[in-house]
Amino acid sequence: MATDWRRTIFSTFILFTINCAFSQDELDGDISFPKVTASHVNDTFLCGCDAISCNDEDTCRTNRKCFIYLARERDEYGYPIFRKGCLTDSDQVVMICRNDVQCCDHELCNNNITLLLPTTAAPPELRHDPDYFNVLYMVLAVIVCFILFFGSIVISICLYQRMQSKQERACMTPLGADYGPTCTSDIRAVPAGDSTLKDLFDHSNTSGSGSGLPYLVQRTLARQIVLVQQVGKGRYGEVWRGHWLGENVAVKIFSSIDEKSWFRESEIYNTVMLRHDNILGFIASDMTSRNSCTQLWLITHYHELGSLYDYLNRNVIDAPLACRLAFSAASGLVHLHTEISCNNSKPAIAHRDIKSKNILVKRDLRCCIADLGLAVLHTQEDGCINMGVNNRVGTKRYMAPELLDESMNTMCFESFKRVDIYAFGLVLWEIATRCQVGGMVEDYNPPFHDKVPSDPSFEDMRKVVCVDQCRPTLPNRWSTDQTLTTLAKLMRECWCQAASSRHTSLRVKKTLIKISQCCQTFSKMDMENDRIIV
C-alpha cells in the first residue's frame, strides 16, 4: 500500500514537469505543434516517409505527429535531401518537434515541402555553424577596410595634384617673382604670346637647372611645333628642324619601340643643375601621334652648323679654332663628370657614347655635348650606379680596350669616366687632322679608318685595339706645329691602354687651357711679325 502511494506521487510530479516544459516552449515560440490531447491518442493518419526512415516504404501510420526536415547531406546530383516520417509516442514529439524539424498532425501533411519549410532559411549546416557568421563578418570588415584605405590614397593623390597644380599656376604668372619663397619650384614661364624662345628660358631656368621648360608647358608643346626639315637619322630615329615661337628647335623623334631610350634621355636631361653652355640645351619631351603612329619627341636647341663630325667634313680649321672646339667640348665633359653637392645636388654623369657625331657645334664655334641616352649616374652618398634599363651599347669604333676585351669593372663609376676619356682622345685626333699646317691638311676620316671597315664589327675593333694595340696615326707634319705637337701628346695620354693611366676630364680641360693660351700667344707673335714684314 505504501509503495503504490509513493508511485502515485512520483507520476504526478513527472506529468507536472512535462506540462510546465510544454507551456514554457509555447511561450517561447520554439515549437510549432499543438499539445498532445486525448483525442489524438486514438486517431491514426498517414504520413509521407522517405526510404531510410521507413525501410523503403512511402508512407507510415501514426497517432501522434508527422515530421519533415532538411538533411545535411545532398544527393548525387547536388539536390537537398528531406527526411520525413512518423512520430509514435509523446517522448519523440517532445524531443524531435523543435528547431529545424517541422511537425504536423493531419493526413500526409509532411508531403507539402514548400509550405512546411521556410523558403528563406539558410542550409542547416550554415545556420548551425557559428563560424559561418564570424567568417562573413570578417570578410565584410576586410572589404570595408580596403575600400577606406584605397579611397584615402586616391583622395590624397588628388589633393596633392591639385596643390601642385595651384603652385605651378602661381609660379607661371609674372607675379610669381614677387612671391618667390612661396613657390616650391625655381622655374617660371611667361605667357607665350609675343615671347621668344630666349625669353622663355631666361624666365624659366636658373643657371643651374637642367629641367627645361615647366612640365605644364611641355605637355602641349608638340602641338605648337611645325616640323620643317629632316636634318639627321640614326639608330634611335630621326632629327628634324622645327619652328616654335618663330625660332628653330631640334626635334629628335623616337619610334614607339625605342621608348626606353626616349625615357632615359628625357630623365637625364631633367637632372637638376645639368644646364651648361657646353651641354645641349633641353626644352621639353612630349608624346604625340602622327600618321596614326605614336611618336616620342625630345625637343632641344637647334644648332644649324650640325655635329662636329659634319663641321669637320665641310671645313678646314686652324690651330686656335681647334683649341676652341676641343676646350669647349672638354668643358661639357667636365660638367657631366662632376658631382655637385648642395641644396639642388647634381650626380656625376658618364656619357658612354662620346664621339664627333654626338658633339654639336654652336654658332659661336663652341661645342656642346648631346645624346645622353646611354649616360650613367652616380652619387657618392649612396654609391649606387644608375644605368637605366636601356640595352643599347656605345659606338664600337670609339670603344675603349676594357670594353672590347670585357675586362671593365662595371661596379666602379671611375671606369665609365675613363671610357669617356678614351673616346675623347679619338675626338681630339679628328679635330687635329683637319688643322692646316704649312698649307697641308688631311681629308676627314674617322678614327681607325685605315685599319677597320667602314662599319667595323666588335671583333674587328677588339683585334685592332686590344690585340695589336693600334691607335690612329699621327702625321709627321704635326711635329712642325707647337699646338698640334702638344695636342698629340694629350691624345696619347687619353687613349692609354691602361685605363688607370688616363687623365681625368678636369686634367684634360686644364691642359687644353694651357695649349690655348700658348696658341693665342703664337698667333699674336705671328700677327706682329706680319706687321713688321709689311
Q: Can you give the CATH number for the domain in which 114 is found?
A: 2.10.60.10
Q: Which of 38-42, 123-127, 429-433 has the highest mean pLDDT?
A: 429-433
- Residue 396 pLDDT: 94
Looking at the structure, do residues 230 and 297 belong to the same domain, yes or no? yes
Q: Which range (11-25, 208-222, 226-240, 446-460) has the least confidence?
A: 11-25
Count the neighbouring beta carbons within 10 Å of the beta carbon of residue 169.
11
| Contact criterion met (CB below 8 Å) for 273 and 206 | no
Average pLDDT value for residue range 133-154? 86
For the stretch 473-502, what's the b/e string if a residue is b when 16 or more beta carbons lie within 10 angstroms of its beta carbon?
ebeeebeebebbebbbebbebbbbeebeeb
Establish if 183 belongs to a structural domain: no
Do both 315 and 439 map to the same domain?
yes
Are residues 447 and 332 part of one domain? yes
Model confidence pLDDT, tens digit, residues 193-238: 344 555 544 444 443 345 566 554 565 677 788 899 999 887 778 8
pLDDT at 335 over 60: yes
pLDDT at 131 (0 to 100):
62
Q: Does one domain contain both 141 and 233?
A: no
Question: φ, ψ for residue 448 (rounded to 5)?
Answer: 65, 25
- Domain extent for 483: 308-533
Q: What are phi and psi of 250, to 5 degrees?
A: -100, 130
Both 106 and 139 in a single domain? no
Question: Residues 365, 324: one domain?
Answer: yes
**Worst-scoring range by mean pLDDT, 153-167, 196-210, 220-234, 266-280?**
196-210
Query: Is residue 353 flagged as an active site residue?
Result: yes
Model pLDDT, residue 31? 40
Residues 315-336 have a mean pLDDT of 95
pLDDT number for residue 425:
97
- Residue 197 resides in a domain: no
Instruction: State how far the Cα of 388 lies from the Cα of 4, in Å rounded to an integer.
Output: 104
Question: Predicted confidence band at 264 (pLDDT cuts at 50, 70, 90)?
Answer: confident
Residue 5 pLDDT exceeds 60: no
- Inside any domain, residue 195: no
Distance CA 374, CA 354 (A): 10
128, 144, 163 - which closes a domain:
128
Residues 326 and 405 both lie in one domain: yes
User: Does residue 515 form part of some domain?
Assistant: yes
Question: ∠ at Cα 331 (330, 332), nearest 5°?
Answer: 90
Q: Is 165 part of a structural domain of the chain?
A: yes
For the ranges 74-78, 212-216, 285-289, 491-495, the one whose mean pLDDT is highest = 491-495
Q: For the beta carbon of residue 153, count every other beta carbon within 10 angstroms.
A: 10
Between 208 and 75, residue with greater pLDDT: 75
End position of a domain, from candidates 301, 325, 356: 301
Residue 4: predicted pLDDT: 56
pLDDT tens, position by position, 378-412: 988 888 898 877 666 789 999 999 999 999 999 99
Residue 363 lies in a domain: yes
Query: Of 254, 269, 301, which residue constitutes the final position of a domain?
Result: 301
Same domain (yes/no): 90, 139? no
Determine the Cα–Cα distance for residues 115 and 298; give it in Å rounded to an integer: 77
Percent of the chain whose predicted confidence (pLDDT) is above 70: 74
Please tell me what DSSP assigns to residue 416. H
The answer to whether residues 267 and 314 belong to one domain is no
- Cα–Cα distance for residue pair 333/341, rounded to 1 Å: 18
Q: Which residues contact 470 (CB under 8 A, 6 or more apart)?
A: 448, 451, 464
- Average pLDDT of every residue of the chain: 79
6 lies in some domain: no
Residue 162, pLDDT score? 79
- Whether residue 474 sits in one domain with residue 333: yes
> Which helix (H) or strand (E) segment is 532 a member of?
helix 505-533
CATH number at residue 274: 3.30.200.20
Is residue 20, in this structure, part of any structural domain at all? no
Shared domain for 407 and 519, answered yes or no, is yes
Q: Which of 105, 286, 353, 420 is catalytic?
A: 353
CATH number at residue 525: 1.10.510.10
**How many distinct structural domains can be found in the chain?**
4
Any idea which residue has 614607339 for its cell? 256
Query: Same domain, yes or no, for 259 and 404?
Result: no
In this predicted structure, what is the pLDDT of residue 529?
Answer: 42
Phi, psi values for residue 336, rounded to 5°: -65, -50
